[in-house]
Structure 1
Amino acid sequence: MSDRLTIGLTGGIASGKSVVSAAFERLGVSVVDADTVAREIVAPGEPALDEIRARFGAHLIDDNGALKRRALREIVFDDAEARRDLEAITHPRIREALRIQRDAAESEYCILVVPLLAKSNMIDLVDRVLVIDAPESVQLERLMGRDDIDDALARKMIAAQEDRAERLAVAHDVLINTGPRKDIADLAAAFHAGYQRLARGEIADLPPLHLPG
């Protein structure tokens, strides 16, 4: 574990993790996003891409040598074994990259954005968990609009993730993200104030925070 306070930010797909993490970045907090790392480790020339080609086929590599991410996503969301095989290739590499970037952070505390934090073997990288929560109906609407997909695929993508109870079971803090984006900055600032005090040693712990409500 790093000496620096590390907050694990997680939530269901299309719950608004990126919007919330961007709000923390604007407050000067170092944010490391597992989704960004996941794209970096499968870039052309990376060993993980070679392993994916060997496991799933060369047809998933485009003419520029890049991974056809959407085609792979459709495969793994229809096949639990394929999803486990992909995770075996990518998760250890993602974990190590997150650890390195966490340890290099320079802000008072650091945020790791990890969608499958409770389910993966990465939860020990963080000291405290902030869950971004939204009802499934909101996730569906956002996901179909964001990715231009139909209801059936959106439901498969949600089902492939941790369920809401799993996420909330590991949460210290919960941010309910159902309102306008303009409210996110104020909610993030409220959490930020507490995390700063915790990082500075001004308090030994924080009571669980659930905002709004």
Structure 2
Amino acid sequence: MAARIGLTGGIGSGKSTVLGMLQALGAAAIDADAISRATTAAGGAAIAAIREKFGPDFVTADGALDRGRMRERAYAHPEARRELEQIIHPLVGEEIARQVDAALAAGARCIVFDIPLLVESGRWRHQLDRVLVVDCEPETQVARVSARSGLAPDEVRAIIAAQAPRALRLAAADLVICNEGLTLEALRNEVEQAARTFGL
């Protein structure tokens, strides 16, 4: 039976790099965020239900969710976010199940679920064998994201503040990779050690 690993980490922690290394070692990766975005992209599986529930104004001319308008609606009417989630979550669940079946059919020994809101969303933990958290100091996150995206440090701090608190992520972890001051090679060694415990 393939090990099911939940991977999470704050912005700038190096989570995507770690995921790529795990894939290189043979893990199948399932990107919950990308699946969720696809449901509300042009022609996505959620669009018809969004149009029906919220009206045509919430769908752009090219057939995608109007994110700006939905953000305004959710800000003014908090229940709108829940209504949107009730449309999207079942579709995401179905697609994840389909990708898991495909990975198992292909003989994957380890499936890594890249879940940004793993800690915030209580519904994930029971579906996973272990949770792997990629961690680093907040100031390291700020420096990395500022360098990568050109955002001002205060903007990056605001993004970090909106994510799950670091202590909460660490408390949920079965395994932590501390990506602080590591070379890429040293990080790869850490990932390889973790991967061995996942059956890779």
Same fold (TM over 0.5): yes
Structure 1 residue matching 2:199: 3-state secondary structure: helix
Contact map agreement 1:31 1:113 (CA 8 A) in 2? yes
> 1:136 matched to which residue of 2?
138
After superposition, where does 1:145-184 map in structure 2 within 5 Å? 145-178=147-180, 179-184=182-187
What is the aligned residue count?
193
2:90 to 64, 89, 92: 92
Structure-2 change in CA distance of 1:79 and 1:190 (3 Å): farther
TM-score for the superposition, normalised by structure 1: 0.73
TM-score for the superposition, normalised by structure 2: 0.78
Structure-2 change in CA distance of 1:79 and 1:88 (3 Å): farther
> 2:191 matched to which residue of 1?
188
Structure-2 change in CA distance of 1:42 and 1:182 (3 Å): farther
Q: Say yes or no: does 1:36 pair with 2:51.
A: no
Contact map agreement 1:129 1:170 (CA 8 A) in 2? yes
Structure with greater helix share of residues: 2
Deviates more, 1:171-180 or 1:151-160: 151-160
Contact map agreement 2:46 2:87 (CA 8 A) in 1? yes
> 1:207 matched to which residue of 2?
none
The gaps in structure 1 that reach 5 residues or longer are 198-213
Structure 1 residue matching 2:30: 3-state secondary structure: strand
Question: RMSD of the alignment, in Å?
Answer: 3.2
The gaps in structure 2 that reach 5 residues or longer are none
